[in-house]
Amino acid sequence: MKLSIAKYTALSGLLLLAAACQKGEIPNLNTPQTDVITINPTKGELNNLVTGTESGMRFTLGTYYDAIGVIGRDIYRFSGSEPRFTSELLGGGSSTLDNNTFYLTNPWASRYRVVRQTNILLEGATNSTAVTEAERKGYLGFAKTIQAYQLLLNLNMTDANGIRIDVKDIYNPGPFVQKVPALEAIAQLLDAAKADLTGASVIFPLSPGFAGFSDAAGLLKFNRALAARVAVYRQQWAAALTALNESFFDLNGSFTMGIYHQFGTGANDQLNPAFIAQNQSGEVRVAHPSYAADITPGDDRIGKATLRTSAASQSGLSSNRDVWVYTSNTAPIPIIRNEELILIYAEAKIQQNAFPDAIVALNRIRLGHGIPAYAGGTTQAALINEMLRQRRYSLFYEGHRWIDVRRYNMLNTLPLDRAGDDVWDKFPLPQNENQ
């Protein structure tokens, strides 16, 4: 294992520099120059570390969303050059998930590269004499918030198999931590970031994806939004509501308000890796047929799965609707947005048996998408099903459905489209994570 984390992060400086959004060069983070950055960096060097961190968060997002989207029966991914999307990820025949292939190792490595970058930023900000204490707290709060988010994405993949939390020393990383303590550690990291951001001063630039949230107050709201997501994963319903009240949650606000990954066509920028044009052949991303079959008539979220001119098929699977969530190669990808927060509020209220409050929130979603107010059962079980249904359609291809049905032990409700297919509950640990 000692070599695997080193391998995963060995290119971090190069990769994050390559996508640094024209904010200036930073030294190679994997040479002795790393010490120069961390011993007593200037504000400019710290700002470049922030830019590299934000940029690196975008790497292999398309692979991540495809992998968990296919397993969660949100989508099919048809590729003429990559049959594992329709074999291993769907458990076709005797196929199983491979612990040494692109759909696991690439997202896993990308997230740990960003964790490595945030550790360098934490060390550099701690040691810098070029910043005030309030400015230092801004860097620390941002770094810890992003680190928690990256760790959470990897835990979403491996679930009960756990993740490594302590990777400060890439040659001697800490042990694997199982799901429950890993979530606790992530929550504690977010809380530490909250303490840093309280009274902080933010002097570093962020992309337009942080528009409205680029100062200390905004980053604190972003942090608390992520904390609310982690709280519902931990079934800590009161804590989720407390975090929501400190976030940008607005029951009557815009569904799209939030924080996003930003993409662009400029030099050293990246295109949206989750975009595929409509009616493509060869490389195709289509909605699972159940998305349209199960949707309520009149629901405007059908626009996230547009009709193709002809159905796409591969390996005994077929769909006539393209995934149309990200409608250009520069479309932003949400990290977290208000529509999810409204649904977190509904979930927490359901779990606290505050059903009228939950129904108000669910109706905010339903009416906001052109369908009538909820008229179903008012038991906890019925409302959980309604909440999960609204999450399915509101958060389609944003990386949630598989995690949601797994949280509620409902993986057996996902469709099996071919004899011999399986629904996996977690990814294995990467092969070279030798423990």
| Band (63; pLDDT cuts 50, 70, 90) | very high
- Start-end ranges of CATH 1.25.40 in the chain? 2-205
Nearest to 339 by CA among 392, 275, 286: 392
Q: Looking at residues 50-78, what average pLDDT do you find? A: 97
The pLDDT value given to residue 34: 62
Q: What would the pLDDT profile of 256-310 be if each residue is shown by its tens digit? A: 999 999 999 998 899 999 999 999 999 999 999 999 999 999 999 999 999 999 9
* pLDDT above 60: residue 22: no
The pLDDT value given to residue 35: 64
The pLDDT value given to residue 288: 98
Q: Looking at residues 152-179, what average pLDDT do you find? A: 96
* pLDDT above 60: residue 331: yes
The pLDDT value given to residue 21: 34
Give the whole-angstrom CA distance, residue 211 versus residue 231.
25
* pLDDT above 50: residue 11: no
* pLDDT above 60: residue 23: no
Q: What would the pLDDT profile of 298-314 be if each residue is shown by its tens digit? A: 999 999 999 999 999 99
Q: How many CB atoms lie within 10 A of CB 377?
A: 11
Q: Looking at residues 380-397, what average pLDDT do you find? A: 98
Residues 6+ positions from 52 with CB-CB distance below 8 Å: 13, 16, 17, 19, 20, 26, 117
CB 278 within 8 A of CB 324: yes
Give the whole-angstrom CA distance, residue 249 versus residue 334.
15
Least confident range from 146-150, 166-170, 192-196, 384-388: namely 166-170
User: Sign of torsion, CA 404 409 411 414?
Assistant: negative
Name the amino acid, one letter, at 357. Answer: D
Task: Give the CATH fold of the 2-205 domain.
Answer: 1.25.40
The pLDDT value given to residue 171: 87
Q: What would the pLDDT profile of 198-234 be if each residue is shown by its tens digit? A: 999 999 999 999 999 999 999 999 999 999 999 999 9
The pLDDT value given to residue 71: 98
| Band (362; pLDDT cuts 50, 70, 90) | very high
Q: Looking at residues 306-335, what average pLDDT do you find? A: 98
Return the percentage of the chain with pLDDT > 90, whole number: 89
The pLDDT value given to residue 33: 54
The pLDDT value given to residue 26: 36
Question: In whole numbers, what is the pLDDT of the chain averaged over residues?
Answer: 92
Residues 6+ positions from 62 with CB-CB distance below 8 Å: 272, 273, 274
| Band (435; pLDDT cuts 50, 70, 90) | low
The pLDDT value given to residue 268: 85
Q: Can you list the pairs that 29-33 forms with residues at least 24 positions away whose Cβ atoms lie under 8 Å? A: 29/116, 29/117, 29/120
| Band (31; pLDDT cuts 50, 70, 90) | very low
Q: 208-246 as b/e, with b when 16 or more CB fall inside 10 Å?
A: ebbeebbbbebbbbbbbbbbbbbbbbbebbebbbbbbee
